[in-house]
Chains A and B, each alone.
Chain A
Amino acid sequence: MNTPFTDAVSRAEVEDLFYYEAELLDTWKLDHWLKLLTEDAAYYVPPNDKPDADHRYTLFTIADDIVRLRERIIRLKDPNCHAEYPPSRTRRFITNVRITAVEANTVSASANFSIHRFRRGGAHQEFIGQYRYVLRRENGMLKIAERRAILDAEELGALGSVSFIL
C-alpha cells in the first residue's frame, strides 16, 4: 500500500511517539504512558488463532476500553499484581514503522515489535508481532486512540500470560 504522506503527520513523528511509548512501558512509567492515550482509547490483543477478528464477536486475550485500561494500570502498579511483581524487565524493539492510512482526523500506522521479557529464575521470553495504531491529534499532540498488538505465535504456549502491557 502506497499512502501519501501528508504535512499533518510524518513518519518521523510517529516513530518518535512509538519509541517514547516503548521507553515509558519498559521503564514502567505507566501513568505517563496513559497520557499518550486519548480519553476514548482502546487496547487490544487478539487471540493467537484469530489475529484479524473483532472483539465484539471473538474471545480476545485483551480487549480494554479506556475505563478498564486505567484499571489495568492501577492493577499493574499494585504489589498484589502477583503476575507482575516484582515487575518484569522488558526491552522493546520497534521497526518497520509505516503510516498505512490517513483519514480526516486520524492516521493509521503499523510497526513490528519484538519484546523481550525477563523474570528472576524464569526463561527469557520473546513476544513478537505487529502493532496497529490509530492516532489522533489533540491540542497539537499526536495521541493513541487505539493500539492493537497482534502476536505471531500460533498459541501463547510458553509465553504463558500477557500480564504486562504489550
Chain B
Amino acid sequence: MDDRTDPRRNGRNHPLVVENRSEMSFQVRREVFVSRDVLEREQRALFDRCWIYVGHASELKRPGDFRTRWAAGRPIIFCRDRTGAIRCLINSCRHRGATVCREREGNARNFYCMYHGWTYNVDGSLRNVPGEEAYPPSFDKTKMGLVAVPRLESYRDFWFLNFDRDAPDLVTYLAGAKDYIDLVVDQSPSGRMEIIAGVQEYDIKANWKLLVENSVDDYHLVATHATWLNYMRNSGVNIAPPKGSGLLLATKGSGKDLGNGHLTTDNPNYRGRPVARWISVYGEDAKADIDAIRSELVARLGEARAARVADTNRNLVVFPNLVINDGSSVTVRNFYPVAPDKMHVTAWALGPVEETEAQRARRLHAFLTFYGPGGFATPDDVAALENVQQGFAAWRDVEWNDLSRGMARNDDQLDTDEGHLRVFWRRWNELMEEAA
C-alpha cells in the first residue's frame, strides 16, 4: 500500500508535521492525536527506542526495596537487590506470565508467583520451582530468571530504561537536558534529592503529546490559569507584566532547545521558590529561613550559580515523556498513553534530603498551590487538554494545528513562543519517519 492509498502513513504524500521556514509556518496534523495507527508507531519509534524514566534512587533506600509500576507500556519491578544494586525487572513470570509482585511498594525477600508458586530472588534469579523433578533435562533454572530490561542507566539518581540494546548511552542521550537536571539537584547541599512520599496518579482523557506541549507552554498561562494568577495577586505577588514590555507574563522567559528533542523553559522567577526566593504566601516567619537556604547556595555555588538555581523556574521535557518542573516546587511527572485519547499520569514531589520539617512542609504547601489534581492550576490544564481532544473529533475537517508562534522573531524564543514546542515535534517527526 503506498502513501496515497494509505493516508495513515506519514510518507512524503501524507506528512504529519510540516515546517516551512521561508514562509514561517509550522503545522501538526491533528490526526496524530486521534490515530491508533500513529500510537502503535509511537510505541515502536519512541517508547521502544528512547530512554524512558522509570524511577528515582531515593525510592529504593534499602536492599530488597521495590516499586512496581509501568514504563514504556510494560509492567516493571524497580528494585534494589541484596547487594544494593538497582535493578529493573519485567514483572512477568517466566513460566506462564503472571505478575510476580502485586504490591505497589515494599521490601521483599523474594518475588512469588501466585499461579504455580515459582519464586524469584530480588535480583531476578529463579530460586524455587515446585515439583522441579517433573521438568525435562533441558530445563535450565539458571536461564529462567525474571527478564531484566535490556538497558538501565542513571543520571544523578534519575533512573531510565531502554528497550533498544543499541541505543546510545543515557548521558549522551540527555545532551543539554543534563545541565537542567543539575540545576534541580544543585538545590541540595549534598547533591542528593529525594522523591517525597505520596504519589499523584490520574488519567487525562487526551493524547499524551498534549501534556508534553502543555507542560512547557507558557502562552496558555494567562487564559487557562486566570484563577491561579488571581490567587497569587490576592496573596501579594506581583504578576503584572512590566509596562510597555509586550510580555504576557511578569518576567521575560525563554524557550530552549536542549538537543535530541529535549526542551525547557527558563524563566526569571516571580512566583516564589522554596529554594530560595521568598514570597508573601510563605508567611513572614519563613523569611529568615529562606535567606539561610540562599546563603548556603551562594557559599557552595557562588553568586551567579546560586542565582541560576534560586531565581529561575524551569519546566524541562526529557524526550519523550518525562517532565521535571522546577517552579513553585519541584515535580517529576511521567505519563504514558493507554489509548490515542487517554493517558495515565504519575506525579511526584522532589526535595533536597537535608530539608528540615518546616522547609519540607513549605515545599509541599507550595507544590499544592499550583500543581496536582487538587491544585489551583493543574485541574484547568486537564480541562484544557480534554477540551482540545474533544475538538480533535473533527480532525478530518480541521486538519492542522498551528505552532508558528514566535517564528518571525530574530532573537531567542520566548517561553510564550512555540519554538521549544517545535523542538519536540521535529524530533518526534524524525523518529516517526524512521520507523515508517
Chain A positions near chain B (C-beta within 8 angstroms): 45-50, 53, 55-64, 68, 71-72, 74-75, 78, 80-84, 121, 154-163
A50 and B381 alpha carbons, distance in the complex (Å): 25
What are the residues of chain A within 8 A of B205 when measuring CB–CB?
160
Within 8 A of A (CB), among B354-380: 357, 360-361, 364-365, 367-369, 372-374, 376, 378-380
- Contact yes or no, B234 A71, CB < 8 A: yes
Interface size on B, residues (CB 8 A): 41
Which residues on the A side are within 8 Å of B204 (C-beta)?
Answer: 160
A83 partner residues in chain B, CB cutoff 8 A? 379-380, 382-383
A161 to B204, CA, bound (A): 9
The answer to whether residues A60 and B364 also contact, given A80-B227, A156-B200, A161-B373 and a CB cut-off of 8 A, is: yes
Nearest CB of A to B403, in Å: 22
Is the pair A161, B379 in contact by a Cβ cutoff of 8 Å?
A: yes
Name the residue on B nearest A50 (C-beta).
B198
Q: Is the CB of A82 within 8 A of B383?
A: yes
Residue of A46, A78, A156, A158 with most chain B CB atoms under a 10 A cut-off: A156
Q: Residues of A contacting B374 with CB < 8 Å? A: 45, 60-62, 161-163
Instruction: Tell me the interface secondary structure of chain A in the complex.
Output: loop
**Which B residues are CB-close (under 8 A) to A49?**
104, 198-199, 201
Total A-B contacts with CB atoms under 8 angstroms apart: 126
- B227 pairs with A47, CB closer than 8 A: no
Q: How many Å from the CB of B358 to the closest CB on chain A?
A: 9
Cβ-defined contact, B230 with A160, below 8 A = no
Residues of B within 8 A of A121 (CB): 390
Do A59 and B379 touch (CB < 8 A)? no
Q: State whether A161 and B202 are in contact (beta carbons under 8 Å apart), knowing that A57-B196, A71-B231, A82-B384 are contacts in the complex.
A: yes
* Contact B200–A160 (Cβ < 8 Å): no
Q: With contacts A59-B349, A160-B204, A162-B373 known, is A78 near B197, CB below 8 A?
A: no
- Is there contact, CB below 8 Å, between A58 and B196? yes
CA distance A71 to B235 in the complex (A): 9
Give B130-152 interface residues, CB cut-off 8 Å to A. none
The minimal Cβ–Cβ distance linking B377 to chain A, given in whole angstroms, is 10
Q: How far is the CA of A74 from the CA of B224 in the complex (A)?
A: 16
Q: A71-B231, A75-B230, A163-B379 are in contact. Are A60 and B203 (CB under 8 A)?
A: no
**Once the chains bind, are A160 and B373 in contact (CB under 8 Å)?**
yes
Complex alpha-carbon distance, A53 and B197, angstroms: 9
Question: What chain B residues lie within 8 Å of A61 (beta carbons)?
Answer: 200, 372-374
User: Is B226 among interface residues, defined by CB-CB distance under 8 A?
Assistant: yes
Contacts A74-B230, A78-B227, A78-B230 known; A59 to B201 CB distance under 8 Å?
A: no
Q: Which of B349, B364, B365, B380 contacts A82 (CB 8 A)?
A: B380
Q: Is the CB of B202 within 8 A of A47?
A: no
Q: Which residues of B contact A57 (CB under 8 A)?
A: 196-197, 357, 360-361, 364
Note all chain A residues with C-beta closer than 8 A to B104: 49, 154
The smallest beta-carbon distance between A62 and chain B, in angstroms, is 4
User: Which residues from 170 to 216 on chain B have a C-beta closer than 8 Å to any C-beta of chain A?
Assistant: 196-205
Complex Cα distance, B404 from A65, in Å, reads 43
* Cα A68 to Cα B314 with chains together (Å): 25
For B368, give its contact among A62, A84, A156 (CB under 8 Å).
A62
B residues less than 8 Å from A71 (CB atoms): 231, 234-235, 376
Select from chain A the residue with minimum beta-carbon distance to B104.
A49
CB distance from A24 to the nearest CB of B (A): 20
In the complex, the answer to whether B199 meets A59 with C-beta atoms within 8 Å is: yes
A48 to B104, CA, bound (A): 12
Nearest neighbor of B329 in chain A, beta-carbon distance: A59
Instruction: Decide yes or no whether B348 CB sits under 8 A from chain A.
Output: yes
| 8 Å CB interface, B299-319 against A | none
Q: How far is the CB of B231 from chain A (nearest CB, A)?
A: 5
Q: Mark B331-360, 1 if CB is under 8 A from A, else 0.
A: 000000000000010001100000001001
CA distance A58 to B369 in the complex (A): 15
Shortest beta-carbon distance, B212 to chain A, in Å? 19
Residues B231 and A63 in contact, CB atoms below 8 Å apart:
no
Given contacts A74-B230, A83-B383, contact A59 B367 (CB under 8 A): yes
